[in-house]
Amino acid sequence: MKRQDSQQDVVIRVRDLCNRFGSNRVHEHLDISLYRREILGVVGGSGTGKSVLLRSIVGLHQPDSGAIEVFGKELEALTQEQRSQVERRFGVLFQSGALFSSLTLQENVALPLIEHARLSREDAEHLARVKLALVGLPSHASTMVPAQLSGGMVKRASLARALALDPEVLFLDEPTAGLDPIGAAAFDRLIVTLRDALGLSVFLVTHDLDTLYSTCDRVAVLSEKRVLVAGPLEAVEATDDPWIRDYFHGPRGRAVHRAGPATDGAFE
């Protein structure tokens, strides 16, 4: 997918980002952009700060320096209320799912609709059931609590909650972690379907090669505290770097190439 780095197409622009934890420098002068309606996969070795980068963009971590521009507005220049309005245009799926264990699925998804959209409980739970259906969960799942669900169903319920407020940008932190290959492939296809249907821009942190090949328009590789390379998979694979060679051309990378597209699977 060819992209032009224009103000109109850029949804998120991160420039010169620095993140430090004591003497540990995680990011130094990091630049990255997310374009409208694309799925950007962010990969890197352990400790390269993939999740820290995501948390910095969504406002859960305060960077030491640098600029984060979202929808053409620099976050640091906004008031708290203006920033809150911008962040409501985000949907976030955390690796653990982060569902409330004592609430049913429809109650989990309804909560942001009640708190932020000020809907009545009845209307919020009706919309929650619509969102749960949108991510492929059966109707009876709406009254279940997370402990009654399989791992794949928890991921889908968490995705439904991330979509509750009709976000424009979806952030996914290791969305297929812990899923079996069939469930992970089904979840990957769901992400692409939702992007196409809803016009989402997706910022996807993952280590899963299958996810990269089946979903992403571009891939950004974090290394040496910055983005080493960002572009289509073919360009990233061809980059002369030891970690990239090991990651994309090692045994698991070759296995992904041989396997080709994943077969269909259920949501469990």
Structure confidence at residue 168 as a pLDDT band (50, 70, 90): very high
Terminal-residue alpha carbon distance, the chain: 31
How would you class 139 by CB atoms within 10 Å of its CB: exposed for 0-12, middle for 13-18, buried for 19 or more? exposed
Model confidence pLDDT, tens digit, residues 77-99: 889 899 888 988 999 998 877 89
Tokens 């053409």 — which residue? Answer: 72
pLDDT at 26: 96
Model confidence pLDDT, tens digit, residues 139-162: 999 999 999 999 899 999 999 999
Model confidence pLDDT, tens digit, residues 122-139: 999 999 999 999 999 999
What are the structural domain ranges in the chain?
39-66+87-259
pLDDT at 99: 92
Structure confidence at residue 229 as a pLDDT band (50, 70, 90): very high
pLDDT at 98: 83
Task: Specify the pTM.
Answer: 0.89
Model confidence pLDDT, tens digit, residues 10-63: 999 999 999 999 999 999 999 999 999 999 999 999 899 999 999 999 989 999
**Mean pLDDT for all residues in the chain:** 90
Tokens of 14: 């991160």
Average pLDDT over residues 191-213: 96
pLDDT at 94: 87
pLDDT at 2: 44
The CA-CA-CA angle for residues 32, 241, 44, to 5°, reads 45
Query: Quick one: what percent of the chain has pLDDT higher than 70?
Result: 90
pLDDT at 268: 46
74 C-beta neighbours (distance < 10 Å), count = 12
pLDDT at 263: 45
249 C-beta neighbours (distance < 10 Å), count = 12
Tokens of 73: 């507005």
pLDDT at 257: 57
Hey, what CATH topology would domain 39-66+87-259 get?
Rossmann fold (3.40.50)
Helix (H, G, I), strand (E, B) or coil at 30: strand
pLDDT at 7: 52
pLDDT at 97: 73
pLDDT at 264: 46
